[in-house]
């Protein structure tokens, strides 16, 4: 099982798609691409990780993140759940959802590191925040992993930041246009 593969779906949650911090159209536009990627990896029996940005009060109000973003992804609310058809995959036996309260998910990186997975594909939102942080975190935690980020599977409310962060990720990952 060398070079096992996985897919990481970063924060494709309602609050980041059409909720309080919604990307709007760019995030809606990637839904079918994200589903296609999930299906492709499940068919190949690869692990599919969902990161779930997860906040609770009053912890959130004391976090540094709260100075940049209003409260979002409150655990168990509708906004916390994956958006649209992607929600249906939450209970699929091949999908592992990991909650996180920071941009990057340390548990995800350490689980990949401890596994035979050395080929990581990434989609999700926002390209310049949680996708970027998780790609950097995985790169530094699992330096022998091949990382591919799909431009068509990522979205940000800021088109310029989307492009800039993809350009930055090219220093350590393959960005598939």
Residues that bind Zn ion (CB under 5 A): 53
User: In whole angstroms, how close is the CB of 119 to Zn ion at the nearest point?
Assistant: 27
Least distance in Å: CB of 160 to Zn ion? 22
CB closer to Zn ion out of 35 and 53: 53
- Could you write out the DSSP letters of every residue in 101-148? SSSS-HHHHHHHHHSSEEEEEEEEE-IIIIIHHHHHHHHHHSTT-EEE
CB of 102 to Zn ion, least distance (A): 8
b vs e for 31-59, b when ≥16 Cβ sit within 10 Å of the residue's Cβ? bebbbebbeebbeeebbbbbbbbbbeeee
Report the distance separating Cα 129 and Cα 139, nearest Å: 15
Least distance from C-beta 171 to Zn ion, angstroms? Answer: 25
Least gap, CB of 170 to Zn ion (angstroms): 26
Our CB check for Zn ion shows the closer of 2 and 70 to be: 70
What 8-state DSSP symbol labels residue 83? P
Q: By C-beta, is 133 or 162 nearer to Zn ion?
A: 133
Count other Cβ atoms within 10 Å, centred on residue 67: 7
- Which residue of this chain has its Cβ atom nearest to Zn ion in the complex? 53
Cβ closer to Zn ion: 154 or 175? 154
Closer residue to Zn ion in complex, CB, 6/105: 105
How far is the C-alpha of 4 from the C-alpha of 20, rounded, in Å? Answer: 36
Element housing 27 (H / E) = helix 25-29
């Amino acid at each position: 099982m060398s070079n096992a593969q996985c897919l990481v779906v970063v924060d494709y949650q309602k609050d980041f798609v059409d909720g309080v911090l919604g990307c709007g159209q760019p995030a809606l536009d990637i839904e079918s691409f994200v589903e296609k990627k999930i299906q492709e990896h499940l068919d190949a029996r690869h692990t599919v990780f969902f990161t779930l940005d997860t906040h609770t009060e009053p912890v959130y109000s004391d976090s540094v993140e709260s100075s940049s973003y209003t409260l979002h992804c409150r655990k168990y609310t509708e906004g916390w759940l994956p958006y649209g058809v992607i929600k249906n995959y939450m209970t699929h036996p091949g999908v592992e959802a990991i909650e996180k309260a920071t941009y990057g998910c340390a548990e995800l990186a350490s689980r990949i590191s401890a596994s035979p997975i050395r080929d990581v594909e990434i989609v999700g939102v926002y390209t310049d925040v949680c996708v970027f942080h998780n790609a950097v975190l995985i790169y530094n935690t699992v330096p022998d992993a091949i990382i591919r980020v799909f431009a068509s599977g990522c979205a940000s409310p800021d088109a310029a930041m989307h492009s800039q962060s993809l350009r930055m990720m090219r220093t350590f990952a393959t960005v598939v246009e």
